[in-house]
Amino acid sequence: MKRTWLRWVPAAAVPAVIAAGVLVGSIPARAGDPLPQKSAAEVLTLLGQHSTRSFSGTLEQSSELGLPDLPAVGPTSGPASAGGAASIAELLTGEHTARIFMDGPTKVRIQVVDRLAERDVIRRDSDVWFYNSRDNSAAHLTLPAKASDLPLPAPDAPVPSTHAIPTPEELAKRFLDAADSSTSVTVGPDVQVAGRSAYSLVLAPRTEGTLVERAVIAVDGATGMPLKVTVSARGQQEPAFEAGFTSLTLAAPEDAMFNFTAPPGATVKELPLPQGPMMPHQQSTPGFQGEPATPGMLPPDYVPGSAVHQRDAGAPKPTVTGKGWESVIGFPAPPDGQGAQLTEALLKDPLLSQAAVVVPGGRLLSTSLVNVLLTDDGRIFVGMVPAERLQAAAGAA
């Protein structure tokens, strides 16, 4: 199975590195014990051998992105439009906690604990449940046979807001997938995460044209499992974004954790899968071992019924300007002249209207790591680049 990180390992070193990884990976690493010294290639190989699929733990995310203080409101639960975007904006501020339980690729439960509510995504085999305690709403999705071998398409109906904290594994994969020759990969000092000794794999852009200074992946010294991802922004001392385990148990959770029954009085929707061929953007994100990601493990933009799925259905594909860390992704305006209405609807939400500032041709949501440009005609441009790069991309499109 092809693994993204293996392209960083010199071909002649692969057999020796894999053999060393197998031997070292078989010896448990205790908290406080110094880890055997490894090169970046060896840590990447250890990460590539990671096969932990049964565990439970607590994830914490913290963000210092330079966003203004936003109103203290509970999580939204409406369909993925303005409400969904507001939930994402809320996720990018402050601190968030989630509990995650996993036993193989088809048993997953994620509980996101918000200030005023709890949101759950539960999968057991072909049954997937989405639940939001704020308005006691639930949605159920029945996956087709052999769903673990298929992309997960978006259903034909929206689901309650289920934006979850991204796991270290998801974040690590995204950064490693994006890494290319413009990225320096080194090993930093060992760290302790959730009581476990871990290597620090440091990814640093070799270009000044990005807002990112570096991303550090804490790789468990015994299993190769990503435990934490820390992203630093240029010119900012404290981490701009962190997501990692604060507690972790590498054992199968109780089977009852993957059961769900809607509470009394809950509004329950049955979500149909769409008919017809699947669109390319509907493919799920593979795990490190090539397994399709499960619904509970998907990042916010892959959750069924999310803004990305609803916006992209039947629409032109996004465009990419630039390369590597300097890439700008442009999303076309919705068809039938609905772009301006979409932008207006998004900005009616108090979260977004307070954070976005007026710029020539649209509104800019600016953070220390990512900038988002909403044009007056409904196009969206996103990139880990200065705002002027987004405006240039919008003007050239």
d(CA 322, CA 234): 20
**Residue 313 domain-assigned?**
no
* Judgement on whether residues 188 and 250 belong to the same structural domain of the protein: yes
Determine, yes or no, domain membership for 180.
Answer: yes
Q: Which domain holds residue 361?
A: 319-396
Whole-model pTM? 0.74
Examine the domain organization and report whether 201 and 118 are in the same domain: yes
Instruction: Say if residue 245 is in the same domain as residue 375.
Output: no
Q: What DSSP letter does each residue of 292-326 carry, written as one string? A: BPPGGGS-GGGSTT-HHHHHHTTSPPPEEES-GGG
Q: With respect to residue 3, please indicate whether it lies within any of the assigned structural domains.
A: yes
- Short-list 304, 273, 272, 262, CA closest to 131: 262
Beta bridge partners of 111: 99, 120
Q: Is residue 103 scored above 90 in pLDDT?
A: yes
Q: For residues 170 and 248, state if they share a domain.
A: yes
Residues 302, 80: contact at Cβ < 8 Å?
no
Do 157 and 47 sit in the same domain of this protein? yes
Residue 23 and residue 159 share a domain: yes
My answer on whether 353 and 246 are in the same domain is no
Whether residue 312 lies inside any domain: the answer is: no
Confidence of residue 351 (pLDDT cuts 50, 70, 90): low
Looking at per-residue confidence, does 61 or 21 come out higher? 61
346: in domain: yes
Nearest-angstrom CA–CA distance, 394 and 78: 30
Q: Do both 226 and 358 map to the same domain?
A: no
Indicate if 273 and 323 belong to the same structural domain.
Answer: no
CATH number for the domain harbouring residue 338: 3.30.310
Higher pLDDT among residues 192 and 105, named by residue: 192
Q: Are residues 217 and 324 in the same domain?
A: no
231 and 87 within one domain: yes
Digit-coded pLDDT (tens) for 147-197: 554 444 444 444 444 456 788 999 999 889 888 888 999 999 999 999 999
Asked, for residue 106, whether it belongs to a domain, the answer is: yes
Q: How many domains are contained in the chain?
A: 2
Position 54 pLDDT exceeds 90: yes
Pick the more confident residue, 64 or 249.
249
pLDDT band, very low/low/confident/very high, at 46 (cuts 50, 70, 90): very high
Let me know if residue 309 belongs to a domain: no
pLDDT grade for 83, boundaries at 50, 70 and 90: very low
> How far is Cα 114 from Cα 90, in angstroms, rounded to an integer?
10
